[in-house]
């Protein structure tokens, strides 16, 4: 097997709140290979977001390690972590987290401002927006876009640095069923094109589109198994057909 894209080894996180301590993660080992499509599940408070934030170098563990393409990044400075994040990680959030006062294109261009190799940036940002189906909406502000379109902008922004991994924390959580299925169809297509994707969801129906499922419970990995991924396109087609029949 080749080197994992990202690994967590004995990953532990304890949050301190005054005199209280909350153990959010308690020794999590996960090895993620290039090209995988992983769904992270588990009840609320089980440590899913904490795990994603550590994987994405947004936060540091209390103990244990994160390795990105074999490099231990656990003890890097904030500036070095930002560089790693920019180079290897694309992040998608439940609430899209777009800048409201700027266009879709500028939102996608934003991560590139931190890079020195500016040339051709605009073209690639445009290409990313085209890839998510928004070439007609590049000059729109977030408030002029639907929830699903805003999430597509966020996905284009996550892709613009050509990251090794896209991490998405409940990306369909703020969307209706049909729009959520459309977003899952897009993630599945991106994965089929070779992108490594790790996505949190609490809906088994959404997790079914991934080919590996991790289940967290009380900060531990309760289960880690390969599954046969369902087709989001077929699921979406069936959903639309059913909706049409009910409408008649
Ligand atoms: P999930 O995403 O599965 O709902 P989280 O990773 O957000 O779970 O939270 C795991 C545990 O850690 C919960 O008990 C939560 O209250 C706690 N927690 C998460 N973030 C913080 C924080 N910044 N400060 C203190 N406790 C936190
Ligand atoms: Mg969460």
The pLDDT, as a whole number, for residue 158 is 97
d(CA 185, CA 154): 15
The pLDDT, as a whole number, for residue 2 is 80
Q: What is the CA radius of gyration of the chain?
A: 18
Ligand 1 atom, smallest distance to 46 CA? 3
Which-ligand-closest: CA of 43? Answer: 1
The pLDDT, as a whole number, for residue 116 is 67
- ∠ CA(158), CA(160), CA(164), 5° rounding? 70
Written as tens digits, the pLDDT of the chain (248 aa) is 688 999 999 999 999 989 999 999 999 999 999 999 999 999 999 999 999 999 999 999 999 999 999 999 999 998 999 889 988 999 999 999 999 999 999 999 998 887 766 666 788 999 999 999 999 999 999 999 999 999 999 999 999 999 999 999 999 999 999 999 999 999 999 999 999 999 999 999 999 999 999 999 999 999 999 999 999 999 999 999 999 999 86
Of the candidates 49, 68, 161, the one whose C-alpha atom is nearest the C-alpha of residue 108 is 161
For a pocket test of ligand 1, which of 22, 198, 222 has the largest count of ligand atoms closer than 8 A to its C-beta?
22
Q: Which residues does ligand 1 sit against, CB inside 6 Å?
A: 15, 17, 22, 24, 42, 44-50
How far, in Å, from the CA of 138 to the mean position of ligand 2? Answer: 30
Q: Whose CA is nearest to atom 1 of ligand 1?
A: 45
Which-ligand-closest: CA of 59? Answer: 1
The pLDDT, as a whole number, for residue 122 is 84
d(CA 32, CA 6): 5
Ligand 1 atom, smallest distance to 17 CA? 25
The pLDDT, as a whole number, for residue 17 is 87
Of the candidates 112, 133, 110, 129, the one whose C-alpha atom is nearest the C-alpha of residue 121 is 112
Q: Which protein residues have a CB closer than 5 Å to ligand 2 (ion)?
A: 48-49
CB atoms within 10 A of CB 244: 9
Cβ distance 183 to 148 under 8 Å?
yes
The pLDDT, as a whole number, for residue 112 is 86
Contacts of 59 by beta carbon, 8 Å cutoff, 6+ apart: 13, 50, 53
Q: Whose CA is nearest to atom 21 of ligand 1?
A: 15
The pTM of this model reads 0.95
């Amino acid at each position: 097997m080749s080197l994992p894209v990202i690994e967590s080894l004995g990953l532990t996180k304890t949050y301190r709140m005054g005199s209280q301590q909350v153990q959010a993660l308690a020794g999590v080992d996960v090895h993620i290979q290039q090209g995988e499509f992983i769904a992270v599940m588990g009840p609320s408070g089980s440590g899913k977001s904490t795990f994603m934030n550590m994987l994405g170098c947004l936060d540091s563990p209390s103990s244990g390690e994160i390795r990105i393409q074999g490099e231990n990044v656990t003890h890097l400075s904030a500036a070095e972590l930002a560089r790693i994040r920019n180079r290897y990680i694309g992040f998608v959030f439940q609430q899209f987290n777009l800048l409201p006062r700027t266009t879709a294109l500028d939102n996608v261009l934003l991560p590139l401002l931190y890079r020195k190799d500016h040339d051709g940036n605009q073209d690639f940002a445009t290409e990313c927006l085209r890839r998510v189906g928004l070439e007609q909406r590049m000059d729109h502000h977030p408030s002029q876009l639907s929830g699903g379109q805003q999430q597509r902008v966020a996905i284009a922004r996550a892709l613009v640095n050509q990251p090794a991994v896209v991490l998405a924390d409940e990306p369909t959580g703020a969307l209706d069923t049909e729009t959520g299925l459309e977003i899952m169809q897009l993630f599945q297509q991106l994965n089929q094109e070779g992108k490594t994707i790790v996505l949190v969801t609490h809906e088994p129906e959404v997790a079914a589109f991934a080919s590996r499922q991790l289940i967290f419970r009380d900060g531990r990995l309760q289960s880690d198994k390969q599954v046969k991924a369902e087709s989001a396109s077929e699921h979406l087609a069936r959903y639309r057909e059913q909706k049409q029949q009910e409408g008649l």
